[in-house]
Each structure stands twice: as C-alpha cells, then as structure tokens.
A = this chain, B = another copy of it.
Amino acid sequence: MSAPPHEARPTGPGRALPDTQQGMRRRNLARVMHAVSAEGPLSRAAVASHIGLTRAAVSTLVDELIRTGLIEELGPERPGRVGRPGSALAVSGRGPAGIGAEIGVDHLAVCAVDLRGEVRARAVRHGTNRGRAPEPVLRELTGLVRRVVADAEREGLWPAGLAVAVPGLVGRDARTVVRAPNLDWHDVDLGALLPGEFPLTVDNEANFGGLAELWLGADTPRDFLHVSAEIGIGAALVVDGSLLRGTRGFAGELGHVPVHPDGPDCGCGSRGCLEQYAGEEAVLRAAGLELGEDRVGLLARRAADGDEEVRRALREAGTALGVALTGALNLLDPEAVVLGGALAGLAPWLLPSLESELARRTAGPPCPVSVSRLGPEGPLLGAAHSVVRAVLDDPAAVAGRG
C-alpha cells in the first residue's frame, strides 16, 4: 500500500486547510513548527509570543507535537534573566526526513535531510546520463535512494517523501518530465518508474535551486530571480516567498527570451534566443572549444588561466544575459538576481559585463546581482528541503505515519 501523495506543492503554512476547528488546529500546529524550526530552540512562552497564541494553547500544541515525535524537549534553558527559565524546544533530529534526489547530466545524487535541516546521509554516482534511456537511470537512482533511506533509518529517521530535481521541464502534476533536452527525455512519468513507498514530487532543477536559495541563503529576499544554467538556461521566479510555475509549469524559461530577434535560429523555432548567446554550447563554440566532459570546469580553468578567447566569450554571454534579464526585471521587479548552478562557477567572468549591461539599461538603482553560495548543491538541497517544508507546513498530515 503506497502512502497518499502529499498535497501538491504547498506554498505556505497550512494553506488550503478547511476552515473548521480541526483545520485551525492544524494550521496552529504548523505555526508552532515553523517558529521552533526558524528561531532555534525556543521555550513555550517564546513560541506563544512569536505566533500570537497564549501559553496555554501553545502548551497543548507542543504536547501533541512531542507525542508525535516532531519536537523534542531539550531541557531547561540557562537562565540569563529574572524569572523561571523556560524549557527549550527544538524540532526533532530523529523524526521524518526529506529525501532529495538530483538527476544531473553528469551524475546522480541523493541525500536525506532531517527536520533541523542537517544532511544526514548522501550518495552520489558520477558518469554521464546524456542520451541514456529513463529506465536504467531511474533504476540506478532507486538504488541510491534505497541506500540513503537505509542509512537514514539507522539514525532513527524515516522518509517522509522523495523530491527529484530534473534538468528539464516538469508538468504541473509534479511527476512528468515533459522535456529534458540534455537527457533527451520526453514525457517520462517518473511516478511510474520510482518506488511508490513515499510521496513523490518532481521539479525543475532551477526551481529547486531557487527554493534552496530562498530557504538556505544567508539573506535572500522573498522576491528574487534565481538563474541557473547547464545546456539550457532556466530561472526560478520566487515571488513573495513562493515559486511562480505558470499554467503548464513552464515558467522561467529565460533561455528562450529573444535577445536579438533576428539572430541565429534556435531549436525552439524562434531566433536569437538567449541560449544562442549564453548557452553552454554557444559559449564553447564562441570560445573555440570542443564539447566534452566537465565543460563548465574547462571554461572556468581556461578563463582563470587568462585565455582571452574564453574570456571574451564569457563577457559576451554576460552581456546577452544582461539584455534578457533587463526584460525580466522590467516585468517582475524582483529584489535581487541570484546566479546559481553552472553560472555560479563562471560568475567572475560573467558578472562585469552582465552588471554593466543592467546598469546601462536600468533607470533607477540597478537590481543587485549575487552569486549563490550553494553552487551546484542547490537543487539537491532544495529538493530535500522541499519535503521538510511540507512537513513543517502540515505536521498533522505526517503524524500518523512513521
């Protein structure tokens, strides 16, 4: 018997729960979880003042969360001020875990993250997946998942769900890979090919990278654009703390924004798309390099070595990116732009031309552009954390399991 799928991508604490007393209760449980999770160890009284309920109400909520193993009582706080010291509460390190997986072009990776946000187990397999059929790849991925789950269970965790990051477009059902050019996959239903023991969510790697930035970034705002690139160039649009997905789930296709409308033909049918100027293939071609393994690393090394041809190619890519981003900034007015994925490693050579292009084309103060500190880890962490967030968003839904 497979577990029921968790609510498709909840966007906030306890959204869409019915407006009845039970729904209220569930939302308040979620608020307690969020407060304890975000603000570190907290006493019941502190939680109460954070979320605006009374100490008595919080007491019963916390009791329930402790009974279900989602919260732990750490013991009395060290008293620094007058009054009886509170008893510190923290989210449990032995409860549910989020299993994140990433299907990259050159690797597979899986990790388990506990409610505290710590990575408690991981497994990686290197080797290209380009052009391989979905079935063998997913069999391999399943093997890694089982290993990570076993490791996590040895530490007292149980898997609350699996989230898979894919380098391609994912339908709004959060299961189907509609198109993944780098893998040459089309309309692959991952739900049918992965273990059904726990709830599954599939999403674009740019989206999960953006969520990781939102949840784990140092001072990432709640409105930003997260740009990431492998062969394609994708963006995660985070608006008011949640992802903008679009009707079909295809939002954020920055790579096919027209940069020079009469430019070279693009595989998408259009002409002069950003991808023709800043995509991996285009940059390699402009730099006079061959395609091969670890293409991004190669570019970075050559650029660092002072290869002027490579540097010029990257400068021009940055300029094109700047043009496309100008359009996006005019449309979305975000608070920041974050470069993630492969772009993070090439940032030193992309940023100057990108930023000067933005400055040139923006009237007021230009939108700040920063580089993700998560780098290539973003999508994997975002995937795992998305499961953790789902638990925080509705702890009652998880209480029965485990």
Binding site for B on A (CB under 8 A): 18-21, 24, 27-28, 31, 52-53, 221, 223, 235, 237, 239, 244-261, 268-271, 323-324, 326-328, 330-335, 360-363
Contact = CB atoms under 8 A, between A and B. Distances in A.
A221 B248 CA distance: 13
A20 B19 CA distance: 11
A338 B330 CA distance: 19
Given A19-B31, A269-B361, 18 more contacts: A19-B28, A21-B24, A237-B332, A239-B239, A239-B244, A246-B334, A247-B334, A251-B331, A251-B333, A256-B326, A256-B330, A257-B330, A259-B261, A270-B326, A270-B360, A324-B327, A327-B328, A331-B331
With a 10 A CB-CB cut-off, give which of A24, A323, A327 has the most chain B CB atoms: A327
Contacts of A330: 253-257
A18 B54 CA distance: 13
A237 B27 contact: no
A24 B256 CA distance: 45
Contacts of A19: 24, 27-28, 31
A257 B333 contact: no
B258 A327 contact: yes
A333 B268 contact: no
A324 B258 CA distance: 8
A271 to B, nearest CB: 8
12 contacts: A19-B28, A235-B331, A244-B332, A245-B333, A253-B331, A257-B327, A258-B323, A259-B261, A260-B260, A270-B360, A270-B362, A327-B327
Nearest to A327: B257
A246 B24 contact: no
Given A259-B261, A270-B362, A324-B327, A246 B28 contact: no
B24 A270 contact: no
Contacts of A260: 260-261
A271 B249 CA distance: 32
A270 B326 CA distance: 9
